[in-house]
Amino acid sequence: MIGDLGAADATELAGMVAKGDVSPGELLDAALAAVALHNPALNAVVLVQENAARAAIRAGLPRGPFRGVPFLIKDLGCEAVDFPSHNGSRLFANTRYSRNSAIFDRIRATGVVTFGRTTAPEGGIGPATESAVYGAPTRNPWNLEYTSGGSSGGAGAAVAAGIVAMAHGSDGGGSVRIPASSCGLFGFKPTRARLPDGPFVGEGWAGMAIDGFLTRSVRDTAVMLDACEGSDLGAPYAAPPLAQGHAQAISRPPRRLRVGLCDTTLTGDAIHPDVHEAVMQAAQLLESLGHHVTPARPTADVPMMMRAWTDIVGIGTALSIEKALKGHAPTPDQIEAVGRGAMAYAATLSPTRYLDAVGEIHAFGRQMAAFFEPETGAGFDILLTATLAEPSAKVGRFAHNTTDYLAYRTGPDGVFAYSPFCAIFNASGQPAASLPLGLSTQGLPIGVHLAAAFGQDETLISLCAEIENAAPWALRRPKGYA
């Protein structure tokens, strides 16, 4: 059954359940068998709750768009009563919740059968998933020597390996799009506040973090976004309303768009040749579809944004650890080195730095908005870049084994040098997506990144669907997996 079902997307699986070709229990059996087969090598799926999944099936699944489809939630956030969490950290291991988060309730209402969680790095602050609480790094199904990405690295590996057809993730600096690029999947970051954060969090990382999904198809993401869209009760702000919804938007191509092509980083640095080739091929594809592609690069202050992002996340990391420790100093058996370094770095900052950094993030968002403004700015509809500056990194390169938090994030070999595009759109709040359009000379997936103006999620996902139709990626699978 694994071989028969592992290549299907969630929409196809739900259709099979609706027709009676397969039952939710049989799909769960197949997913658990795939975990048993593949997870020892990948280390992507943790805290399996088979009893909770089978109880949900017996109780009667909601008749939503993904009724009966096996599902995994990230082991960071997405709080749920029936699904304890390590939150990627030994300090928070086996945390239990008294109520569900709004995002989990909306996911559950689609009819999915959640049966466990997927690995995440401690604090969610790395582009690789190698948390000590799981005992081993999470590896990429395409090549076990390489990382599946982070911070939703377990989700990326599980979907790429065919364990599930789609999985929950979250994205505060590229944490959905980085695994999508590394694992050959589709990853979409919505406009800020498009999805609910509450009630456990008011806003994630000053509004830069948002939930999302790792999928094989654009349609799965579109339908799941529609099911989860909208702020929760008491949210501090809301995204602009959708005109028609993501699923309706992908039913037809968008108007012909003005696409700005940036084949370097946004500060003008060169990217890996294999990645550059994938970006240029994507530009040619867009031109062949009738879109207007012009070389362009936003003039926003990216170094300022990177400093502000680093400070906000460092302060947030320190706050969460300090709350849990209640005044005690962290020890190496509780918190990994990068987390301890973030605490030490945060302690050097002025008490007013957080608000100053938030102001810089907001200023950066306004600068980026100008690139997409038709009347006073450059007037582009889409910005085309790479997702990562190079193909997926080897396991160990971004392990949390240094206390130099600043160098880990912003050093010449740090996270921002490796992933210079993704966090930009967490800071600006704009929708952005990674599409699996390239392969490196070593056979690793390469993601191409598209971003649109704030609130223009429907335009962006419609374009993604048009590209998927013109250059399908569904049959491009890692060897040895369904």
DSSP conformation letters of 11-36: HHHHHHHHHTSS-HHHHHHHHHHHHH
Q: Alpha helices, DSSP H only, in 229-352?
A: 246-249, 273-288, 302-325, 337-347
User: 260 exposed, middle or buried (CB, 10 Å; 0-12, 13-18, 19+)?
Assistant: buried
Question: Is 19 noted as a catalytic residue in this protein?
Answer: no
Q: What percent of the chain has pLDDT over 90?
A: 96
Which of these, 337, 303, 116, 120, lies nearest to 209 by C-alpha position? 120
pLDDT(3) > 70: no
Please give the Cα distance from 117 to 76 (Å, whole number): 9
Which of these, 126, 123, 136, lies nearest to 45 by C-alpha position? 136
Q: Which residues pair with 434 in a beta bridge?
A: 187, 449
Pairing of strands 166-171, 139-140: unpaired
Phi first, then psi: what are they for 263, rounded to 5°? Answer: -100, 15
Q: Annotated catalytic residue: which of 85, 89, 131, 151?
A: 151
Question: Is 326 noted as a catalytic residue in this protein?
Answer: no
Q: What percent of the chain has pLDDT over 70?
A: 98
CATH superfamily label, 2-301+359-470: Amidase signature (AS) domain (3.90.1300.10)
**Sequence-ordered list of residues with C-beta below 8 angstroms from that of 40, at least 6 positions apart, any chain:** none
Amino acid at the residue 243? A
The confidence band for 376, taking pLDDT boundaries of 50, 70 and 90, is: low
Q: Annotated catalytic residue: which of 74, 152, 189, 428?
A: 74
Question: Is 148 noted as a catalytic residue in this protein?
Answer: no
**Sequence-ordered list of residues with C-beta below 8 angstroms from that of 328, at least 6 positions apart, any chain:** none
Per-residue pLDDT tens over the stretch 379-418:
999 999 999 999 999 999 999 999 999 999 999 999 999 9
The whole-number pLDDT of residue 285 equals 98
Residue ranges covered by each domain of the chain: 2-301+359-470
Query: Can you give the pTM of this predicted structure?
Result: 0.98
CB 85 within 8 A of CB 102: no
Please give the Cα distance from 47 to 430 (Å, whole number): 33
The whole-number pLDDT of residue 241 equals 97
Please give the Cα distance from 238 to 428 (Å, whole number): 15
The confidence band for 100, taking pLDDT boundaries of 50, 70 and 90, is: very high
The b/e string for 52-74 (b: 16+ C-beta within 10 A; e otherwise) is bbeebeeeebeebbbbbbbbbbb
Q: Annotated catalytic residue: which of 101, 148, 170, 175?
A: 175
CB 384 within 8 A of CB 438: no
